[in-house]
Structure formats: structure tokens, C-alpha cells
Amino acid sequence: MSNSTSQRENYIGLFDDPRLDKRASRISSMLYFSQSVNIHGNTRHEAEQKGAYRFFSNEKVTEEALINAMKGRSSYLCTDKDVLVLQDTTEINLENHRNRLKKDSGIGLTGNNKYLGFFVHGNLVLDANTEMILGFSDIQLWHRPEDKEAKQDGVNSTIPIEDKESYKWIKTCTQSKEHLSAARSVTLIEDREGDIYEQFALIPDDRTHLIIRGKNNRSLSGGQKLFDCLAQQSVSGSYNIDLINDIRKGIEKRTATVAVRFCAITIKKPKNLKRTDIAQEVELYAVEVREINSTVKEPILWRILTTHKLASYEDAIGIVNKYRLRWHIEQLFRLLKKKGFCIESSEMETGWAIRKLTVMALNAALRVMQLLLARDNDDSQPIEQVFDEVEIKCLRMINETLQGGTDKSNNNHNPKKLSWATWIIAKLGGWKGYNIKRPPGPIALKKGLDKFNLIYEGWKLALKI
């Protein structure tokens, strides 16, 4: 499969049943264009609606098959590239549907062991040089049993990592390494939950690196603690970081001035880690990013661990900037939930069906993210990686109707690049298109895709395609 092939997942032959293959393709297109998981509202007639519900209830339609179809494109698009793999976990809260959902059907307790739902752990692949989204390298879904007992102090530290929820980080890293074997290099980027000694000891190799925000004040060889060691380093430089508002993390929208320190370190295996088949020490580099001259209640303080060699201030800044790309997968999960597809409002009757719908919705939400990243980038990814040949023909016709009377009001992007399609979709979503206006956001792009869907369906009917 060449890089000019559309990035749509391929369902042909996936289920050993041509009817299921066709149904999967139809549902995928519906999710792509409607940007909603409302099966009742997005299907054209009752037969199509029933077919969609039966599809997700069919035992032949497995999570594994849908995930494999979704992962397919990233394995060839990564060829000979340096890639970044952004990891994060989100929970799908279905507590409002407790009395409607069938019990023991793929749902259980979520983060606080109080509400009903399940977890999704995603690995989003980006080209390290262009920051284009290439797809997913792995998706994990799971739930906790409703009779799960509360943690007992001291017990969790003696449980093998393979029997803990945190093993998801190591498992997905291992599977991503294998899936992205054609890449020149793979850098896995994780937040504080990924600060696990076994991961540092087991995952890195000559082509596989880690960038993980530190959570633990680890013991270093020589007797120091990590946080003290970083604080004692001289400041290598300072620069400004633009922050977006994030209520969940207590981050205010602002421009923060941060001081950067970095050094080489050697972390020691924790004393309570009894396994003997891993290294006693691991050599890493550490970066501290500390906000200065600020009066905010919770100033930035990031401590980032990496296997990449850092020889200069510029190297350290490069690691910080790569870590900050995690925003993309956080935004993707927001689109999956209240800001877009509203997966937590699904009308499915079983958790298994909602989980399968979630996998397909994640793949559709990816399109909004790709359009978002291509907004003002004329070096964006080829349009064929996101839209197929027929859709591009329709986009060309729509583009002719959107051109203004001046050069500034025209679509001046390269028609072979995704930024050209982003301009069209954004205009359909209500964006004015002038340079003085702020770039279109995910909501405008979602509205634009909704409108494009209506136009596209009517256009195909008129041409009998």
C-alpha cells in the first residue's frame, strides 16, 4: 500500500463476511462525516439504523479486528521516518446509563471506583519532523470489575507489574515497537503515569526512546535524589511557553517564562522491586522546566526523563517541545467525548457495543485533528491520506463556490495538501477565511464536516455515484 493511498481503514475481508465488511465501511463513513455517535440521528432510514445496531452487537465484530483495521495505515506511513508515539488514558463515564445498560457486558468501575464505564488507552503516531498525524499504533480498552476491592496499603508494591493496570504502558510500548518496525526511530511520549522503572529498563533500544514526565523523586547512583540533583544544576537558559486553559490540570491560559536545567543521571532500581531479571541501574537524561517571575497559584514545574542524549540547551528544549505535543492526544479524547462525538451519550444497550463504537469513533475523530494541524501549514500531509478520490472531486466543486473577490479571500493553499481541504471545511463551518481572523478551531471544523457530509451525499445522488 503506497503513501498516496487514502488513510481510511480497510475493512475488506476483515470479518470473513462481505456483508459485515460493507456495513463497517458504511458506519465508518457515517462517523467520519457526521462527527457524532448518534446512530438514530445519523442513519438515513430504519433498515440502516437496525443494521448498525446489529453490527455492533454481532460477536463476529470484535474489538481486536476493529483496532487492527484502524492501526493498519500507520505501519506503512511510518516507513523510514522518525516517529513520535503520544500515549494517554481516558475514561468513558457511563454512570448516567447504569439502569439501562446490561450488566457484565464490558463495563465496570472507572477511575475513582465509583462510576460505571471503561478505560481507553491510545497510542497516537506523529511524524517527528513534520508533526503530521500518521494514525494509531495501539489501542487498549479495559474495565475494572464492579466488586473490585479498594487498594490495601503496601500490597500493590508487591504485585508483579504484569498484574497491574500500569502494565498498559509497557504493553502498549512493546506492541508499538513491533507495529512500527519500519520506522527509522520511535520515541514514546508519556505523562507522569508512565514513570515506571521497568519501562525504563525494558523498552529502550538503539531505535526506541522514551520521553516521560517524572512523577517519582527517584534515588540516583551516588546517593542523591532526582529532584535535588536537578535543582542544583545551573540554569541553561529561559524562554516563553504559551499555555492553553486546562481546568482539569489547574492551568490558566497565559504566556509563562520558564527556566531550563538539564543533566545526565543514573536511576537505581527501587528497593521494593524484587525482580532480578532487569538492570540494577539505568542511564538517562533529565530536564527541569520551572516557571519563574509568576504569581499564579500553581506555576509550571515539569521534570522530564528521556533516553535521548542531551548535549546542549537546544537539545533540552527539543525534548520539552516534543513532550508538549501530548496535547494532541488529549484534544483527541476531548473530541471523542463532550466536545465532539459525545460517546458517553451513546444509546447502545451493552458495554461491548459502546466499546466497539468508541474504537470507530476514535478513528473518525482523527480526521478533525488532522484538519486542525493542517490549518496554516502548506507543508501538511497529502490530501489523499485523509480524503478519498471521490471526496476530493466534491471538494474541488465546493471550493469554486467559496472563492472571494480578493486574493486574501481565496483558497491559496496547495490543492495536493490537506491544508487546502482544511480551508474549505473551515469555511463551510462558518470561519470567515481572512488572515486577520483567528484560525478555525475544532468546533468550526466539526461543523464544516457536518455540512460537507450533507453536500457530499446530495452531490453523489445527483451524479448517481
pLDDT value at residue 29 = 80
pLDDT value at residue 41 = 75
Measured CA angle at 134 (ends 131, 138), to 5 deg? 120
pLDDT value at residue 454 = 84
Task: Give residue 186's identity as a one-letter amino acid code.
Answer: V
d(CA 401, CA 396): 9
Intervals of the chain under pLDDT 70: 1-10, 148-158, 245-250, 339, 434-437
- For 91-113, how does the pLDDT look when each residue is reduced to its tens digit (9 = 90+)? 999 999 988 888 888 999 987 78
d(CA 87, CA 177): 13
Question: Domain coordinates of the chain in residue numbers?
Answer: 71-349, 374-463
d(CA 23, CA 53): 11
pLDDT value at residue 421 = 94
Task: Give residue 203's identity as a one-letter amino acid code.
Answer: I
- For 126-168, how does the pLDDT look when each residue is reduced to its tens digit (9 = 90+)? 999 988 899 999 999 999 887 765 554 445 556 888 888 888 9
pLDDT value at residue 305 = 98
Which fold does the domain 71-349 belong to in CATH?
Transposase Inhibitor Protein From Tn5; Chain A, domain 1 (3.90.350)
Report the Cα 305 to chain-centroid distance in Å. 21
d(CA 422, CA 402): 13
Which fold does the domain 374-463 belong to in CATH?
Transferase Inhibitor Protein From Tn5; Chain A, domain2 (1.10.740)
pLDDT value at residue 4 = 35
pLDDT value at residue 148 = 63
